[in-house]
Amino acid sequence: MAESITLQIQRYRPEEEEEPVWQSFEVPRHDEWMVLDGLNYIKDNLDGSLSYRWACRMGVCGSCGMLVNGEPVLTCATYLSELGGGRGPVRIEPLTGFPVIRDLVGDIGDFITKLQRIKPWIIRQEDKPLSQGEYLQTPEELALYQQYSMCINCMLCYSACPIYALEPDFIGPAVIALAQRYNLDPRDEGSEERGDVLSQHAGIWACTFVGECSAVCPKHVDPAGAIQRYKVTATAEWFKSVLLPWGKR
C-alpha cells in the first residue's frame, strides 16, 4: 500500500450549500503524482461529483490553475510530494478573483471579455495580395514579441494580482501582455486601436507594479515587464502629441 496524503478541498455545490465548505480526502502518495493526479483519483474513486477543469496534463492548456496552499499554480505541474512535507494537508481552492461556479471551477467570462477588447489577432490596414506570398519575419523580429506569445491564458497572474482583486475594471496582466505580443509584431498595424483601451485608467495605469503576476507565471511571460514597457511607450506617445501635435499619428 502506498502512503497517503490529505487533500483539503474547498467545495461549493450551490444546490447544497450557500457558502463554500472544506472537505478532506486521503489519496495515495506517489512521488511522481502531481496535484492533478490526486484530484483525478478523488474524482474516479472517492467522489465523482468533484468539479474542476483540466485538459492536457502538460502545462500547455492553462485550464487546471488553482490555489494550492495559497499559491496560484498549475496543478498538472505541481508535485504532491513537495507539499506539506510530502504528507499534507494540501489545501486546494479555486483561483481568487473569479466568481465560483462550482467547487474549483471559476467563471472566467470577465477575462474573455477583456481579452476581446484588445483584439488579440494581427490587424492589417490593407492585406497584400495572396500572390505576393506570406509575410516573412527575421529571427530578430520574432524575438521582439515571442516571450509574450507564450501566454497560455491560465489566469494565475489575475489570481496573484492585488490590483485586480481591488479594482475589477482593471484589464489585467495577461491581457496587456497579449496586447504587447501583437503590438510588437512587425506584421501588425493595430497598436493604435489597442492603445485606446490600454491607455485608459483601467488599463496600464491601474498597475502599481507589485510584480506578483510575473512571479507566478508558469511560462515566464513577464506580464509586469510588458506593462512597464507599454507605460514607456504610452508616455512617449503622449509627449509626442503635446510637443509635435501636427505629427501625431
Whether residue 33 is found in the same domain as residue 119: no
Whether residue 77 is found in the same domain as residue 125: no
Indicate if the alpha-carbon torsion angle 152, 136, 196, 234 is positive or negative: positive
Confidence bin at 212 (pLDDT 50/70/90): very high
Among 106, 139, 172, identify where a domain stops.
106
Closest CA to 186 of 230, 221, 226, 139: 139
CATH number at residue 88: 3.10.20.30
Whether residue 115 is found in the same domain as residue 220: yes
Decide if 226 contacts 233 (C-beta within 8 A): no
Among 75, 106, 137, identify where a domain stops.
106
Among 50, 80, 106, identify where a domain stops.
106
Cα R_g (the chain), whole angstroms = 21
pLDDT single digits (tens) 50-105:
999 999 999 999 999 999 999 999 999 999 999 977 777 999 999 999 999 999 99
Whether residue 236 is found in the same domain as residue 174: yes
Quote the pTM value.
0.91
pLDDT single digits (tens) 145-175:
999 999 999 999 999 999 999 998 999 999 9
Q: Is the pLDDT of residue 131 over 70?
A: yes
Whether residue 66 is found in the same domain as residue 173: no
The tally of domains found in the chain comes to 2
Domain span including residue 195: 109-247
CA distance 195 to 2: 55
